[in-house]
Each structure stands twice: as structure tokens, then as C-alpha cells.
Amino acid sequence: MALLKERTLSVVLTLSAWRAQRVDRKVTNEVLDAHHAERDAGRFNKHLVPKEAIAPVRRAQGSARAAFQRLSLPWLDDGIRIITNEMFMDFRQAMSKERSECEAAYDQFALIYPDLKQQAPKRLNGMYDPADFPDEIRDRFGFELKYVPVTDEMDFRGGAVFEDEIKQELETNYRTTLQKTVGSADYDLVSRLLKLTEHFTNVTGVDDQRFEKTTVENLRELARIAPKLSLTKNPVVEQTSQQILDLLDGVDATLLRNNKQARAQAHTAAKKVTRTLKASEEAARKKLAELDRRLGIA
């Protein structure tokens, strides 16, 4: 753990967008009055443009958030996540693609916005308010990805006012908090592997169960990157990831749908991996509970 800062980066993704919605207080009050309801009983949100007009932006941003979550691990609050140096190129390539798709969606919306704005008085009728529509729209959308150095040490030398006993208490608390943060990232990765492997096991265990391509490909992709994602080089993650890749070698959804023997073999192998991951997840959960106890967290 002492070398964590040398082999990891924390990452922050910030996506901004014009909401294309606004609370209409006049209509809200009319509805509340008509139903004799309390003032806090509800509110009316008006959609300033048709949903399908802004949908490509929301899809692109949703895809970017999903990729960001998938290719990193939880670290600090406020959306800060962490990647290893080994994972950097995979992460950078994928997020570059997501950025391009978001920017394309932003540009496309900016092109149609003048027409949408012109159509708004007729579409919204009595709810139309020109103040709801900015003159310039493109700068309301953004995609910002930050890489921030990770620190795994706390320097109390500047705290000369602290007695040695207090310094020791702070240092112990910091080390325990860091252990919990790293442990939480490890737990998240094991849980993700378990969730997909368990789903694969359940689906392959039922002959007439519909088998989706994503069931195979999502599991394969996570098994491919999981050892790179691991902050601790968790041997269980490395072992089970390789076992998953081995059992999926030459396997696709079509084969599993049509070949009962291949399906049964995959189910047996996946069931074994699932047991290993469940045991690892439980051990990680207990370790986190102990760290919470040491930190005085109920």
C-alpha cells in the first residue's frame, strides 16, 4: 500500500448539460388550487423541447457514466474514482470514445436548437416563457475528465501544535481509513465479478432460459480487465478472472443456446467460480466491518 501513489491515479468525470426542463410555478399553483392540495404536494415540470430531441445527449452521457464506472473503482466521495497505471490505456481509449460520442451529440443538438426554440411558443402555448431558453446553447454542455495524483501518506510534521499522542491517533486513523478505502475498492471489484458470474451460472442452469449475448460478453470483458483494475493484486480476482476466461474460451451465446453439453460444462465451471467469489466477498465484507469498528462507525 505504501506504493499506491506510484501505481494509481484518481479520476473525476464531470458531465454538464442543459436540463431542458423547468418548474412552471404558475401551472403548479393552478393544479394545487384545482385539487385543494397543500403547497408542497407536488410540482409541474414542463419539458422545454420534445424528449426525443434531447434523448441522444442523455444516451451519450449515460453511456459515458457507465463506462467511467465500469473501468474504474470507487475511491473517495464526490464521484472520485481510481484506476491503476496498468488500466490507464484501456481507460483512456474508452473514455476518448465516450467523449467523442458526447461531443457529437452536443453538436447535433446545438444544430437543431434554433428550430426547437422557434417552435417552442406553439408547442408550450400558455406555458411558454422566453426566459427559459438561453441564447447560446452549446456551452451548456460539457465533458471534463480529470486525472489527479493519489496520496497514500499523511504528513503531520506541520502540526507542531499537536502532542505526540494526538499525532499518533491521527496517523492511525488515517492509515485505517486508507485501508478501508482500498478494501472498499477491492470489495466492489469482487462483487462485480460475483454478480456477473452468478447471473451466468443461473442462466446456464436452466435449459429453456433465454440467453443474451451480453451475458457472455459483459462477463468476458470484466474478467479481462479485472486483474488490471485490482489495487491489491488480489489473487482471488486474478485466479477467478482466468478461470472465467478459460470457461468462455471459444464460447458464445449462440453455442450456449443450441448446445446443451457446452451449456452444462459452462454451468459447472461457472458454479465453482461463483462459490470462490462468494467466499471472497464475504471475507472482504467482514474485513470492512472490522475496519468500521476500529473507526467507530456503527
HEC profile of the chain: CCCHHHHEEEEEEEEECCCCEEECHHHHHHHHHHCCCCCCCCCCEEECCCHHHHHHHHHHHHHHHHHHHHCCEECCCCCCEEEEHHHHHHHHHHHHHHHHHHHHHHHHHHHHHHHHHHHHHHHHHHHCCHHHCCCCCHHHCEEEEEEEECCCCCCCCCCCCCCHHHHHHHHHHHHHHHHHHHHHHHHHHHHHHHHHHHHHHHHHCCCCCCCCHHHHHHHHHHHHHHHHHCCCCCHHHHHHHHHHHHHCCCCCHHHHHHCHHHHHHHHHHHHHHHHHHHHHHHHHHHHHHHHHHHHCCC
61-103: pLDDT as tens digits: 999 999 999 999 999 877 899 999 999 999 999 999 999 999 9
Percent of the chain residues past pLDDT 70, beyond the cut: 95
Domain locations in the chain?
A: 4-149, 164-295
166-179: pLDDT as tens digits: 777 777 888 888 88
Global pTM reads 0.88
Give pLDDT, residue 207: 78
Q: Is the pLDDT of residue 165 over 80?
A: no
Question: How would residue 244 be classed by pLDDT, with cut points 50, 70 and 90?
Answer: very high
- Which CATH number is correct for 164-295, 1.10.3470, 1.20.120, 2.30.29, 3.30.70? 1.20.120
255-276: pLDDT as tens digits: 998 899 999 999 999 999 999 9
The answer to which of 164-173, 224-233, 281-290 has the lowest mean pLDDT is 164-173
